[in-house]
Amino acid sequence: MPHSSDEYYVTLEEHFERIQDKDKKLVKDLFKELEEKWFNGYFNDEVKEKIYVTSNLMLEHKMQAMPYFYDYIVTLMVIIDKNYPEKTILNWMSSVDLVIQSLKGRDFHDYLHNSLALFTDQYVFSNKIIQWKANGNWKLEVDSSIRYIFQETDLTCYTKKDSSNIYKTKGIYDPINRTWQGDGGKIDWQRANLNPDEVYANLQRYEIEMKMSKFIADSVELFNYRYFDKPIIGELEEQVLASRRG
């Protein structure tokens, strides 16, 4: 696609001409909004330049207008509307390029979906079964990898029938591998009606595959003051149930 504002816009419109009838209203509404923003300073020159680069990468990987270009443009506009710092927006745009080159089309679609969930509602990862939410501040770093870095946060796993919290932890989320490298934090079992001041665990380093609702942590200090005066050191497996038993 051309690296010229007017020419790019015309080429993008042409790219969307070959879509199914069921998508035509969505696309019409998109371009009604996009035209006003494209020609009135909503996208600055640096953002536009990155859009050109990303669009050509998408074409190289044979990504069609629907859903890929549509989802990319919509996601980008939502993120800009959230008033994140420009550096964060530009880093996210760079992360999209890395995802295109590293993953398949479906994974690219999932990355856009999860980006929306993070930028709007703090969900680091979500699908139809599991949601992982981190409520702390974060920064995004991109070079040869993508790193969403949380210095302090509560990390919560939700399923339809259960949830589990890691309090006051920190971690790095890698969306390419869908992993969270965690450091520190506390778990209790209030959902099992256990007093959080009596029964809890302090974590050290741990790793979570975010598409899973469980994780294993080594070298955990488990406190159970109902039975023991001192912590028990060992391995902890935490499982969040997709549905309650019984």
Closest Cα partner for 54 from 96, 8, 15, 5? 96
- Rounded percentage of the chain residues whose pLDDT exceeds 70: 98
pTM for this one? Answer: 0.90
For 137-141, 169-173, 240-244, which range has the lowest pLDDT when averaged over its residues? Answer: 240-244
Classify the C-alpha dihedral 168-182-129-146 as positive or negative: positive
Rounded CA gap, 133 and 158, in Å? 8
For 99-108, 135-144, 150-159, 164-173, which range has the lowest pLDDT when averaged over its residues? Answer: 99-108
- Rounded percentage of the chain residues whose pLDDT exceeds 90: 88
Instruction: Say which residue the tokens 């399923």 belong to.
Output: 159
Q: State the average pLDDT over residues 116-124.
A: 96
Within the chain, where are the H helices? Answer: 5-15, 24-38, 45-60, 70-81, 86-102, 105-121
Residue range 54-97, pLDDT digits in tens: 999 999 999 999 999 999 999 999 999 999 999 999 999 999 99
Average pLDDT over the chain, rounded to an integer: 94
Query: pLDDT value at position 1?
Result: 85
Query: pLDDT value at position 241?
Result: 81
Query: Cα angle at 165 between 222 and 245, to 5 degrees?
Result: 90
Closest Cα partner for 3 from 53, 77, 76? 53
138 token code pair: 């974060």
Q: CA separation (Å) from 147 to 124, 165, 208?
A: 11, 22, 15
Instruction: Say which residue the tokens 């443009």 belong to.
Output: 73
Q: State the average pLDDT over residues 205-230.
A: 93
Query: pLDDT value at position 100?
Result: 95
Query: pLDDT value at position 243?
Result: 56
Listed in sequence order, the residues at least 6 apart from 174 whose beta carbon sits closer than 8 Å to its beta carbon are 145, 146, 147, 180, 181
Rounded CA gap, 220 and 230, in Å? 13
Rg (CA), the chain: 22
Rounded CA gap, 142 and 95, in Å? 6
